[in-house]
A = this chain, B = another copy of it.
Amino acid sequence: MTRRTVLICSWLEPELVERIRRVDDRLEVLHEPELLGLPRYIADHTAPVTRTPEQEARWRQLLARAEILFDFDRSSGPELATRAPRVRWVQATSAGIGDYVRKMGYAESMPETVFSTASGVHARPLAEFCIMVMLAFHKKLLRSLRDQRERRWDRFAAGELDGQTLVIVGVGRIGKEIARLAKAFGMRVVGVKRTIAGVDPQSLHLDALHAPGDLHRALAEAQNLVLIAPHTGETSGMIGARELATLPQGAVFINIGRGALVDEPALIESLRSGHLLGAGLDVFAEEPLPPANPLWSMENVIVCAHSASTAYRENERITDLFCRNLRRFLDGEPLLNRFDHALGF
């Protein structure tokens, strides 16, 4: 019986490691938590790692044996190919890995290695984040909290999601889940998607579906706009000053995709002028968001520190996905969520 060696590369709850071990007798799961970064919060997959020289040597030994990685080894970065020459598959813990894989040059250095993303795992928390942001702005929560800090009792009327239009740019699993919740609130939901041929909008909980060429037509009616497209050559900077100006006055802007999708200075200007009612931002051109960035102090902005997708149950869901993929790997079946270097997602 050929054994397959799995190396756990970021902190994972022991009971979840056990669940991985139990998938199949043919697996050898290497898990030495003292060699991994200590998580700063639940489901932290980018915790800084410090190892003694002895620990680093030990880690290199594990890498040299590993055929399957649970998460990228961020301590190796671009050296991964040379340090882990036997690796055939990396299961990522993030959905949007295109930027990282490109930066590390893995397409060139590890041409035989399959990468699979955690796409789908973050759908629920991200969809909840979008609904929360739309409610917060249209129902004037931030105004209410400011009144509260000043102990001011000032009654007010507010909008509601019912009857509003939401445009979602990028309708993968996350976009579909946002659409499903938005429909429950009585919103009209329009999707913009790279490939729309043969796609039934209703199957994605959408009232209408447009190709990227019709982006402007969609934006013109977007009282709410959510960006959740992957970052690729096509989507980079897709929302600039002209696109923001196309949004109706008083629109709510949400970015849970990647900061590079939007021209950040143009976004700041659109928020300053009051053209946008508000923005809920989980991703930024530069992360961590630099202290001098004006977005921090804008009263109509909710800054989330790239944490909108991070839920208490995240590692449990990633482990579920990994276990399903392990069975497929052992059975020679195609992996779920296989990353495509050419597409970038």
A contact residues vs B (CB 8 Å cutoff): 40-44, 124-125, 128-129, 131-132, 135-136, 139, 141-142, 144-145, 147-149, 151, 153-163, 180-181, 184-186, 287-289, 291, 296-297, 301-308, 310-314
Contacts and interface: CB of A to CB of B under 8 A. Distances in A.
A307 B145 CA distance: 13
Contacts of A43: 157
Contact of A154 (B147, B186, B305, B308): B305
B302 A144 contact: yes
A129 B124 contact: no
A158 B125 contact: yes
B311 A156 contact: no
A185 B135 contact: no
Which 9 A-B pairs rank lowest in CB-CB distance, beginning with the nearest?
Answer: A153-B288, A184-B184, A42-B157, A132-B135, A157-B310, A148-B303, A151-B296, A41-B157, A153-B305
Given A153-B305, A305-B153, A313 B141 contact: no
A155 B289 CA distance: 12
Given A41-B156, A144-B305, A307-B155, A128 B124 contact: no
A155 B306 contact: yes
Contacts of A157: 41-44, 307, 310-312, 314
Contact of A151 (B129, B184, B291): B291
A185 to B, nearest CB: 7
Given A131-B131, A158-B311, A184-B184, 18 more contacts: A41-B157, A44-B155, A124-B162, A125-B160, A128-B135, A128-B161, A128-B162, A131-B135, A132-B132, A132-B139, A141-B302, A144-B307, A145-B145, A147-B305, A151-B297, A157-B310, A158-B307, A181-B184
A129 to B, nearest CB: 7
A131 B288 CA distance: 30
A160 B142 CA distance: 21
Contacts of A128: 135, 139, 160-162, 185
Nearest to A47: B155
A307 B136 contact: no
Contacts of A180: 184
Given A132-B135, A144-B304, A312 B44 contact: no
A223 to B, nearest CB: 13
Contact of A312 (B41, B151, B155, B159): B159
Given A128-B185, A131-B135, A180-B184, A155 B302 contact: no
Nearest to A315: B157
A154 B180 CA distance: 30
Contact of A302 (B148, B156, B159, B307): B148
A296 B308 CA distance: 27
Contacts of A303: 144, 147-148
Nearest to A293: B151
